[in-house]
Amino acid sequence: MQHTNNAPKFVPLLPRTIRLAGQTAELLEQGLAGKRNGDWVQLDTRRATEAVQDLSALKQEAKKVRQTLESDHDSMATKVSFLDRLESVLDYTDATICLNPDGKVDAHVGRAGSSVRQLRSLIKQANEQVLSVLAQPAQAHSVETAGTRGMIK
């Protein structure tokens, strides 16, 4: 079987994942630090609406990349596992942010805290993927081009 290099399709997801997970975690943390209404916290409407849209777009892109990687039977298990985790965290976070018909956006306190922890863990996993790709000279250029090198924390 001929090996196809799927790194260029996978690599651009990493900086977007790191950036979006960080922004969404910060949004939820700000809500958790604010005033509570029972078990609910209010979120910034504009930022939360954008986060939900960005989460959805990233999830769709991740699904497409995963399908491509699954068709390549060479050692892509780690990347597919990361994409599975990415989709799971995005689904959970998307369900955490409630866009209400009245235009207000809120999140349940317990789910928001859990979502923050999952998003922070996802950032760590994405950074590990970046380091793994950077360790392979042939793929390092793709990572630098995607803007990831400066995002590793």
Q: What are the tens digits of pLDDT across the range 51-95?
A: 999 999 999 999 988 887 776 655 577 888 899 999 999 999 999
- The ranges of the chain with pLDDT < 50 are 1-4, 149-153
Give the chain's domain count.
1
| Whether pTM exceeds 0.85 | no
pLDDT of residue 108: 94
DSSP class of residue 151?
Answer: G
89 in a structural domain: yes
1 in a structural domain: no
Q: Is 143 helix (H, G, I), strand (E, B) or coil?
A: helix
Provide the strand spans (E) within 76-145.
97-99, 105-108
Tokens in use for 4? 């196809």
User: Residue 115 belongs to what domain range?
Assistant: 7-151
Tokens in use for 32? 């958790």
Tokens in use for 132? 């793994």
- Sign of the alpha-carbon dihedral angle for 25, 29, 31, 37: positive
pLDDT of residue 79: 85
Tokens in use for 22? 């960080």
